[in-house]
Amino acid sequence: MNILYLCHRFPYPPKRGGKIRPFNMIRHLQATGHQVTVCSLARSHAEAMEGQGIASHCAAFHIGMVNEPTQYARMIARLPLITPSSMGYFYSGELAKKVRRLLRRQRFDLIFVHCSSVAQYIEDVQGIPKILDFGDMDSQKWLEYAHYKPFPLSLGYTLEGSKMLWAEKRLARKFDLCTATTRAEWETLEGYGTGAATDWFPNGVDADFFCPDPKTGGAYDSDTISFIGRMDYYPNQECMRRFCQEVWPLLRRARGTMKLLIVGADPSAQIQALGAMPGITVTGSVPDVRPYIRGSAAMVAPLAIARGTQNKILEAMAMGVPVVTSAAAAGGVDAEAEKHFLVADSAEQTAAAILRIVGDRNEHDRLAKAGRERMLTHHAWPRSMQRLDGIIERCVRNFAQAHTSKVRTPA
């Protein structure tokens, strides 16, 4: 098939959550015989140049160049409108023109959109089967933010979440099939009651790249725990501030030699300040996160705001590093609490779970082995892409049947 693929962040290199899922879809579809034309945005010349690497994974790609001041202005312009500001942030007139030109000049067998904020480019296209991969339901994330942000920002997030909820329902009805990342997100989508056909397929993890280090034989520092994630992302910031304020004192009191590594790009001033606390190191951007995580006794992911799948959890488990996470973040992982990872929410429960791992080599090794095995069987990209293939086949078949039925219906 000739597939037009749109996504909100340019999917190469796949170094962050918003790029990993679309990149693996594009690579899989192209490798299995489809011709994939990618359309997305870049916010700098450096990002556009780095993105050229996608060429070996698709038939063609087109970039819409944008800049932050203009995109923020587009967000503000939509504040008095029913259209979500998020859609202003991800709109490019240049990309819109390129998409229209492609649709005029080529015959596409399928349009696949990742992220509702870029559905605006093709939502009114007729005569071609269309799939919208919501990934996470963004409206629910903004509505959750409202509970953590001070007034009047809380009102802004409530407004954006409500507008996005309306947009998600409207867009679902314009696509032939809609998907989500997890069963929980799919249930949210189904709960909208739009009548749209829906399904879900999970994120995977590259278990060959994120694997235990054969050179060290699984050696780790029993006094070190870690957190991995972009530190300009609010849910990561919120959880680390709370963890350091509430959990870290409990851990240091019980085990005074403990160390915490906060590993992730672009830490805010507040996150950098956490590095002044005893035992805590804030690394900022690192060339490779794997040595930091592999050398830890456990990776913590105590997120209160967690929609969809947290790739950080998949990656740590794939590396054979035990994970202690919150119930909110655990919901996006196809694994069982206690068997494959530990789940805790209160400060006391979280501290107890971490101490259980760092203080017991057998418990550490049990979770390390079980976690990696679960990633190999339930979060491998090939398995996820098999589900995607079935979803695409279903969408195209149902579209063809519906179109044939309409053609045969007497006037």
* Digit-coded pLDDT (tens) for 151-165: 888 999 999 999 999
Tens digits of per-residue pLDDT, 373-402?
A: 999 999 999 999 999 999 999 999 999 998
Which pLDDT score, from 0 to 100, does residue 409 have? 43
The rounded distance, in Å, linking the Cα atoms of 66 and 92 is 7
Q: Residue 241: is its pLDDT beyond 60? A: yes
Question: 18: part of which helix (H) or strand (E)?
Answer: helix 17-31
Q: What is the mean pLDDT of residues 313-339?
A: 95
Q: Which domains does the chain have, with CATH numbers?
A: 2-204+381-408 (3.40.50.2000), 221-378 (3.40.50.2000)
- 181 Cα distance to chain centroid: 8
3 state DSSP class of 264: coil
Query: What residues contact residue 64 under an 8 Å CB cut-off, 6+ apart?
Result: 39, 40, 41, 42, 92, 94, 95, 96, 98
pLDDT class for 406, splitting at 50, 70, 90? low
Query: What residues contact residue 22 under an 8 Å CB cut-off, 6+ apart?
Result: 5, 7, 9, 11, 114
Helix/strand/coil percent split, the chain, to 5: 50, 15, 35
The rounded distance, in Å, linking the Cα atoms of 295 and 218 is 8
The rounded distance, in Å, linking the Cα atoms of 172 and 293 is 39
Phi-psi region of 175 (alpha: psi -120 to 50; beta: other; left: phi over 0): beta
Residue closest to 201 by CA, chosen among 358, 340, 379: 379
- Measured between alpha carbons, how far is residue 21 from residues 166, 222, 243, 342 in Å? 25, 33, 28, 25
Which pLDDT score, from 0 to 100, does residue 410 have? 41
DSSP conformation letters of 167-184: HHHHHHTTSSEEEESSHH
Tens digits of per-residue pLDDT, 17-70?
A: 789 999 999 999 999 999 999 999 999 999 999 999 999 999 999 999 999 999
Question: 218: part of which helix (H) or strand (E)?
Answer: none
* Mean of per-residue pLDDT scores for the chain: 94
Cα-trace Rg, the chain? 22
Which pLDDT score, from 0 to 100, does residue 150 have? 86
Encoded amino acid at 399, one letter:
F
Q: What is the DSSP letter of 320?
A: T
Instruction: Catalogue the E-assigned strands of 176-257.
Output: 177-180, 198-200, 221-228
Tens digits of per-residue pLDDT, 184-196?
A: 999 999 999 999 9
3 state DSSP class of 228: strand
Which pLDDT score, from 0 to 100, does residue 405 have? 61
DSSP conformation letters of 27-59: HHHHHTT-EEEEEEEESSHHHHHHGGGGGGGSS
pTM, rounded to two decimals = 0.90
Query: What residues contact residue 202 under an 8 Å CB cut-off, 6+ apart?
Result: 181, 182, 309, 334, 378, 379, 384, 387
